[in-house]
Amino acid sequence: MSAIIIEGLAKRFGTLAALAGFDLTVPRGAIFGFLGPNGAGKTTTLRIMAGLAHATAGRVVIEGVEVGRGQRPPIGYLPDTPSFYGWMTAREFLRYIADLHGLERPPIDAMLERVGLADAARKRIGGFSRGMKQRLGLAQALLPQPRVLLLDEPVSALDPAGRKAMLDIMSELRGELTVFFSTHILGDAERICDEVGILDRGRLVLQARRDDLLARYARPIFEIDAAPSDTPRLSALAGQLRALPWVDRVNLEGARLRLTVNDVDAARREVLPMLAGLSVSRFEMLGATLEDIFLGLTNSAGVPTGTEVAL
Amino acid sequence: MRIFGVQLRKELRELWRTRKLIVVLAVLVGFGLMSPILAKITPDLLEQFSEGQMEGIVITIPEPTERDAIDQFLKNISQFGLLLALLMSFGVIVGERERGQLALVFPHPLPREVFVLAKFAALAILFVVGMLLSALGAYLYTVLLFDAPSLGGFLALTWLMIVWLLCLVALSLLASALGRSMVAAGGIAFVLIIAVLLASLFTPLAPGQLLDWGRALAVGADAPARWDALIVTLGLSALAVSANCLILRRQEIG
């Protein structure tokens, strides 16, 4: 069963096509990462899903309710830079949201506890830091117990500690509801998503389960780190490996050996026994990262590598 | 209706917490109290001012009456009330849109027309209460310093001024939905209000005619009843609020 169905979604701003008409389906209960470089159309898509903007063509159906057709879909929405009424306290704001939804006994304290704002419940939001506002934004989106949570760049502007806290909370939601979040920080998406979609210049260039994607694009590379004193023996091993038919390439840098193979199964079977007698500190098959896949699909060049890349 | 109540409570609380309520009440009540006093002391001030400066010239200033107090009240409210109506209204919707607050609350079950109606209702309550307190102050001081004017006439003047002010509030609020920025909204509100004020020069149906009618009722002067202007003013206010709802419903937020 799909929580979100997007069909032929297009949006034009004058002559500019922000969304070129794409289809997307998000299964119920998934944590879905909506990836794309700046200007790809992620925020426009989320604004249409939240009912804040109108599509030029196509439609969005969330939990069986078509957006913009009168009935309100069961969503919670967090914009990229949530802006509150600074004169309210955190508790007052959540009370206001609960009253709009007609909740008689809203779990305000539990929600503030969940997002780590219990101590700030009676403080004016005007004095909150960016991270606190983001967490309160998540609380207001979760309070009415939506079935689909839409988050626009929920962690992009946070410091590492704030980002970790936010991602932990999002991870805890797995299985409770469907989470659809946009990001350009690929490491974060890789960490918590079940499924990803990559948007580029208004077009969906890929949608897949994260694990399938990483497996499909896995690179047949093994890395072996040994003790520095073993470097001569590692060099001899490199010579032996070069002679094997399933080995394409061998690089030796100090005490690190990098092996590119054409038969992963053969490599898995034969490399380990060859390491007997060496003081190996690491033996790892390198997987593809979302970053590699993303850069390949969106043709982004000149981007520094790392666990997270701001595009 | 439940959501309207929630939103109205929020708007009223905002007026209180941001001290806008205090400012508006202070200004309106202040001018209400000051108007009869100013009417009373103006001849003395003029006399003191002219002493020794205009030798040989005799200026005869008639003894002020309750009519002067009413005129002073009308003049002050029509000037400063107008300014307050403009300043309190033109930024409320565009401000929330610019700051991003609407993008946070509109995905919740808050119909946009309810949002507009609650904004208008909160401002209407503010100005009605402010004007009634202002009129009470003005009336009491007028009674203390002069002869008592007709209570019925004074009340009629007060309510006609309220209707006129609320029309300006509705137009400024419309400008707030129309403008893409605070500056643009302020400009549109200014143009709309100037247009309404100028209309009084050309047609007896204009909202400004309510003030002349109210003055006549308060001072007991002969003047034609301007029911037509009252209907036009109420209609214009309703039209402005309805247009506001329609515009905001179609507007993209964010």
CA atoms of A253 and A255, how far apart (whole Å): 6
Min Cα separation B107/chain A (Å):
6
Q: What mean pLDDT is predicted for residues B94-104? A: 95
| Closest to B163 (Cα-Cα) out of B229, B117, B223 | B229
Residues 6+ apart with CB under 8 A from B162: B127, B128, B131
Residues 6+ apart with CB under 8 A from B174: B192, B240, B241, B243, B244, B247
> Tokens standing for A236?
């001899």
Is A95 within 8 Å of A85 (Cβ atoms)? no
Residue A268 CA from chain centroid, whole number: 30
3-state secondary structure of B90: coil
Indicate the residue of A54, A97, A144 with minimum beta-carbon distance to B252. Answer: A54
Length of chain B equals 254
Is A154 within 8 Å of A170 (Cβ atoms)? yes
| Closest to A301 (Cα-Cα) out of A288, A291, A287, A286 | A291
| Closest to A196 (Cα-Cα) out of A176, A212, A219, A217 | A212
* Model confidence, pTM: 0.84
A51-65 pLDDT tens trace:
999 999 999 999 999
| Closest to A227 (Cα-Cα) out of A184, A176, A282, A173 | A282
CA atoms of B21 and B9, how far apart (whole Å): 14
A206-251 pLDDT tens trace:
898 988 877 777 667 888 999 999 999 999 999 999 999 999 889 8
pLDDT value at A197 more than 80: yes
3-state secondary structure of A300: coil
Residues 6+ apart with CB under 8 A from A140: A76, A78, A82, A93, A94, A97, B104
Is A179 within 8 Å of A46 (Cβ atoms)? no
On whether any CB of chain A is under 8 Å from the CB of B56, the answer is: no
To 10 degrees, the CA torsion angle through A133, A134, A136, A138? 160
**pLDDT in the model for residue B231:** 97
**pLDDT in the model for residue A299:** 63
Under an 8 A CB cutoff, do A137 and B104 touch? yes
**pLDDT in the model for residue A107:** 95
Find the residue in A nearest to B102 (Cα).
Answer: A83
> Tokens standing for B62?
């008639």
Under an 8 A CB cutoff, do B253 and A84 touch? no
Find the residue in B nearest to A70 (Cα).
Answer: B111
Q: What ipTM was predicted for this assembly?
A: 0.89
- Containing A79, the helix (H) or strand (E) segment is none
Under an 8 A CB cutoff, do B253 and A137 touch? no
**What is the residue-averaged pLDDT of chain A?**
88
